[in-house]
Amino acid sequence: MANRGEIALRVMRTCRELGIATATVYSDIDRAAPHVRAADEAYPIGKAPPRESYLNIERIIAVAKRAGCDAIHPGYGFLSENADFADAVVAAGIAFVGPPAAVQRTLGEKTSARRLAAKAGVPVAEGTMQPLNDEADARATAERIGYPVLLKPAGGGGGKGMRVVRSAAELSSAWRASTGEATTAFGAPALLMERLIQPARHVEVQLLADAHGAVVWLGERDCSIQRRHQKLVEETPGPSVDDALRAKLGAAAVTVASAANYVNAGTAEFLVAPDGSFVFLEMNTRLQVEHPVTELVTGLDLVALQLRIAAGERLPFGQDDIRRTGAAIELRITAEDPFTGFLPQGGQVDFVREPAGPGIRMDSGLAAPLTVPTDYDPLLAKLIAWGPDRATAIARARRAVREMVVAGLPTSLPFHSFVLAERDFAAGRYDTDYVTTHWSRPAAPEITEGAAIAATLAGIARLRSRPRPIAAEASPWSRSAREDMLR
Amino acid sequence: MRYAARAGDRDLVVELTPEGRYLVGDRVLAADLAETVPGRAWSVVIDGGAHEVAFLGADRVWVDGDEIRLDLADERAVAAGRAGGRAAHARQEIRAPMPGLLKRVHVEEGATVNEGDALVTLEAMKMENELRAAHAGTVAQIAVAEGTKVESGTLLIVIRPE
């Protein structure tokens, strides 16, 4: 398991159920992390910065050989979409749990994926079909297709390094930022440009393909609720997707996968306009963070299927065998302060209470005590709720969010509480602008007088018993940032 | 001892009597507190109403499922606060809101900045975050050079108001 956090735990759980022994890797700072504790074997691979540990191909392969691994699961992020890693794994005589390197190269370079989709007859957004040469090229392209436009790293997905450019005046600074982030995240500064489609919903289709040419799709997920082009809430079925649109999206996803000779689990991402027209965005050649919502409505274990496919087995079912029951919602609980524009925060978690009960699944990398480093993705845990219908799933998620306590650093939980009680979300009326339009000036939650008195009395008791300042969180900065710096 | 509190959107004054009872306004409350996680969480039962409180960090408090801010001061601090008051928009001290790498400084000392101008780019958790000027002014000081790793709270830039 060449990853950390909740996804490492998620994958190792399925391995254990299947009787497969697990080995994992860890950086210095993760020595006591939950994934190390859960694995059968764990090996150190270097210092905290990803380049020296979780992105270090050589060391990970050496560990896998030493541990006698038959297969490597890359999780998401880190090396999961790195074709050189997939090549190195196979060259070491180990199975890679994911699509072959050649497929990753075709789909990983986003303009090449756009060309493939367009050639297969799947619509793509107006924009560049080759990476942009330089800022002047970007400027000329933006003039041609018309502002607003979207700058995207050509070398990778997941929303990192993406910038909306609304006018010519914003282009230079957006170009700088995107190039910088693309280099940091993907090791390549190349960018592409697309016309911004807005309002739009981000709807994606889960795919499974075996090495014998069979491709199935398992339904869609609406992931429109995002900040900085990164998802916060995902659900299935998509509240705006009717049967006709679902069938069209599924067929388009299968077309792209077949054209790319896709193997293993993958996700085709689309933008859907209010009139139901859609464009293909990109293919994520890995297990997605939000895969559990699909698991809950289909009853399938996507990791188990990934392992079978990687072992060369055929898909054990066809498209007509797939049944979807009820609705599921996932909330990404991140180490980010929703009151300061979702600024990521590291820190020390010293108390955690996770929810349980009917319809609730927690995929969590949380523990107490736990050091949350700033070196990695801020995702801490995923709260996933299932219900026989959307209203029940929302009610369960809302109840569960209110049970959850994470002390020691700010989390996205207050945002999730807000969303689940908000009218437009409840009605399924939202698009990719939701965070901007609904959370730009978050109000303090209204609490009862009893709750206010209880908080005050506990605060007095705490002051009088042991006035212990919480060093992990410096209050003046979070407050000044709240008020001044990031508006 | 008397305490003044702002809990979420509610203001209240609580007096703790020498007998250990709580006076809220002119009401005496039968409140029963149990510390459930040492220093972190309390169960509070007030006249049969059961509440749960957890201290999340700094002034962030979790109560019955909601995350609120709790500002709590005893009588002396309240009096001192009234005398002092708050200076509006003195100088802006731009500090790192999180640990990270100071990737770029977009301004020079002595430069004039407008409200909303990007001052520095701070890279943390693989994201680049631009910190902006809250008000117009002059860059009085650049405290940290580009390429420096900074801790949360490190002073980066000082802006003098116009």
Tell me the per-residue pLDDT of B118-141, one tens digit each, with 9 for 90 and over: 898 888 776 777 788 877 888 888
Select from B84, B117, B136 the last residue of a domain.
B84
Q: Do both B78 and B54 map to the same domain?
A: yes
Which tens digit of pLDDT belongs to each residue from B36-62? 999 999 999 999 999 999 999 878 999
Number of domain units in chain B = 2
Whether the per-residue pLDDT at A215 is higher than 80: the answer is: yes
What's residue A442's pLDDT?
74
What is the domain-level CATH number for residue B148? 2.40.50.100
Q: Mutate one of A457, A460, A479 to test the B interface: name it (highest B CB count within 10 A).
A: A457
Q: Do both B127 and B147 map to the same domain?
A: yes
Q: How far is B107 from chain A (nearest CA, A)?
A: 14
Q: Do both B20 and B72 map to the same domain?
A: yes
Give yes or no for B79 touching A (CB within 8 A).
no
Mean pLDDT for chain A? 93
Domains of chain A and any CATH numbers: 5-97 (3.40.50.20), 126-195 (3.30.1490.20), 201-438 (3.30.470.20), 453-485 (no CATH)
Q: Do both B130 and B151 map to the same domain?
A: yes
Whole-model pTM over 0.95: no
DSSP per position, B28-97: EE-EEEEEEETTTEEEEEETTEEEEEEEEETTEEEETTEEEEEEEEEHHHHHHHHHH---TT--EEEE-S
Question: Which residues of A have a catalytic role annotated?
Answer: 286
Mean pLDDT computed over A12-41: 98
Mean pLDDT computed over A427-447: 90
ipTM for the whole complex: 0.88
Whether the per-residue pLDDT at A409 is higher than 60: the answer is: yes
A475 and B3 within 8 Å at the Cβ level: the answer is no
Q: Which residue of B has its CA nearest to A335?
A: B125
What's residue B150's pLDDT?
84
**pLDDT band at residue B77 under the 50/70/90 scheme:** low
Q: How far is A447 from chain B (nearest CA, A)?
A: 7
A473 and B61 within 8 Å at the Cβ level: the answer is no
Q: Do both B66 and B109 map to the same domain?
A: no
Q: Do both B73 and B13 map to the same domain?
A: yes
CB-based contacts of A45-54 (< 8 A; 24+ apart in sequence):
A48/A373, A48/A375, A49/A375, A50/A78, A50/A375, A50/A376, A52/A27, A53/A25, A53/A26, A53/A27, A53/A28, A54/A2, A54/A3, A54/A4, A54/A25, A54/A27, A54/A78, A54/A79, A54/A376
Which of the given ranges, A16-20, A483-487, B3-7, B106-110, has the highest pLDDT on average? A16-20
Q: Do both B123 and B154 map to the same domain?
A: yes
Select from B46, B61, B84 the last residue of a domain.
B84
Q: Do both B70 and B117 map to the same domain?
A: no
Q: How far is A183 from chain B (nearest CA, A)?
A: 10
Mean pLDDT computed over A52-61: 97
What's residue A480's pLDDT?
41
Select from B84, B116, B146 the last residue of a domain.
B84
Q: Do both B80 and B102 map to the same domain?
A: no
What percent of chain A is predicted at pLDDT more than 90?
88
3-state secondary structure of B145: coil
Q: Do both B121 and B77 map to the same domain?
A: no
A457 and B44 within 8 Å at the Cβ level: the answer is yes
Give residue B27's domain range.
Answer: 2-84
β-bridge partners, A332 = A382
Q: Do both B144 and B104 map to the same domain?
A: yes
Q: Do both B131 and B76 map to the same domain?
A: no
What is the domain-level CATH number for residue B68? 3.30.700.30
Mean pLDDT computed over A11-21: 98
By Cβ distance, the residue of B10, B29, B42 closest to A447 is B10
